[in-house]
Amino acid sequence: MFAIAMALIQENVPPIRVLVTGGHGQLGSRLVAVGRQRIDVEVVGLGRAEMDVLNPSSISAALDGHQPHVVIHAAAYTAVDRAEEDQEAAHALNVVAVGSLASACRDRGIRLIHISTDYVFGQAPRRPLRPEDPIHPQGVYAQTKADGERMALSSGADVAVVRVSWLYDGVGQNFMNTMLRLAKERGALRVVDDQMGVPTAAPVLASGLLDMAAMGEDMPTGLWHYAHEGVTSWHGFASEIMEIAGLDVPVEPVPTSAFPTAAQRPSWSVLDGEALRVRMGWPAMHWKEGLEICWRLRLKAAE
């Protein structure tokens, strides 16, 4: 990293300007934090008040004001269960706004990285899922995310759609911190063991997305999967969180039916991230290594 930084300084390479939508969200805020530690990208994260992606003139003003080379679209309607009752809002944010943003990027020659989800697969074959595998979205959130992917890919912009699964971080409200809080409050956990997937550490994903943005015109475009190595269930993930935290708390495996939700969750959410990893030259990283990174960030944030 130091050698790359020195090379960039010596060659006087200006940083790639990256604008992040949803800049105060889980992924958006992590992109901004990781961006602060790099010299090859200059990252600005805008919240809804500074750039409302539902409003085309707000999109234009932000793009013209900040003149980014790349937009990373991390804003989305992410309330999976609420979307079942709130179809219009989910469609507006996950489909219509994606179209508006992608067109605005196309018109200005700005590259776009759009974030999507494993949920587009619905019930899928039990093997790592590749980008070209057929999708069967179930529920409003999944359907709107699938439609949003199509909007982005058909916009004519230089766009990379990156699907990710089970996103979490060491800080903020997410599965990891919820499990740690519940373990302390209740002294025991009951966690679903019949949904399989790959937890994705937001700090590692953010770093990867900025690597993509930093490639300039060589940025990969099209549909990609980002995933760590390994597979687990929510129960396996929760158990590992207890282990790393040194908490001796029983974690009872329960079926999905123990926690009825408005929206159905896929029972198999395992993305195959190899194509993007090879394209980018990233080393393979097991999801447990991602967890260690998030755990260390959590400890640091608490200092």
Ligand X SMILES: NC(=O)c1ccc[n+]([C@@H]2O[C@H](COP(=O)([O-])OP(=O)(O)OC[C@H]3O[C@@H](n4cnc5c(N)ncnc54)[C@H](OP(=O)(O)O)[C@@H]3O)[C@@H](O)[C@H]2O)c1
| Contact mark string toward ligand X, 57..86, x via CB under 6 A | -----------------xxx-x--------
Active site residues: 141
Please name the residue that has the structure tokens 């949920």. 119
Residue in 160, 161, 225 with CA at minimum distance from that of residue 198: 225
215 touching ligand X, by CB under 6 A? no
Q: List, as one string, the DSSP characters of the chain.
A: -HHHHHHHHHTTPPPEEEEEESTTSHHHHHHHHHHTT-SSEEEEEE-TTT--TT-HHHHHHHHHHH--SEEEE------TTGGGT-HHHHHIIIIIHHHHHHHHHHHHT-EEEEEEEGGGG-S--SSPBPTTS-----SHHHHHHHHHHHHHHTSSS-EEEEEE-SEE-SSSSSHHHHHHHHHHHHS-EEEE-S-EE--EEHHHHHHHHHHHHHTGGG---EEEE---B--EEHHHHHHHHHHHHT----EEEE-GGGS--SSPPPSEE-B--HHHHHHHTPPP-BHHHHHHHHHHHHHHHH-
Nearer to ligand X, 1 or 155 (CB): 155
**Residue 232 binds ligand X, judged by CB under 6 A:** no
The residue at minimum Cβ distance from ligand X is 25
139 binds ligand X (CB under 6 A): no
Please say which residue, 69 or 163, places its beta carbon nearer to ligand X: 163
**Only segment of 4-12, 47-55, 183-191, 282-290 that touches ligand X (CB under 6 A):** 47-55
- Of 117 and 239, nearer to ligand X (C-beta) is 117
Binder among 155, 165, 232, 239 for ligand X (CB under 6 A): 165
Interface pick for ligand X out of 19, 26, 102, 112 (rule CB under 6 A):
26
CB of 292 to ligand X, least distance (A): 19
226: CB partners within 8 A, 6+ apart: 162, 163, 164, 200, 205, 208, 209, 271, 273, 276
Is 129 near ligand X (CB under 6 A)? no
Q: Give 19 or 74: the residue with its C-beta nearer to ligand X.
A: 74
Q: Which of 164, 189, 191, 198 binds ligand X (CB under 6 A)?
A: 164
For ligand X, the binding residues in 4-23 under the rule CB under 6 A are 21-22
CB of 265 to ligand X, least distance (A): 11
93 near ligand X, rule: CB under 6 A? yes
Per rule CB under 6 A, is residue 297 in the interface with ligand X? Answer: no
Residue nearer to ligand X on the CB measure, 93 or 210: 93
Q: Which is nearer to ligand X, 168 or 295 (CB)?
A: 168
Binding site for ligand X (CB under 6 A): 21-22, 24-28, 48, 51-54, 74-76, 78, 93, 115, 117, 145, 164-167
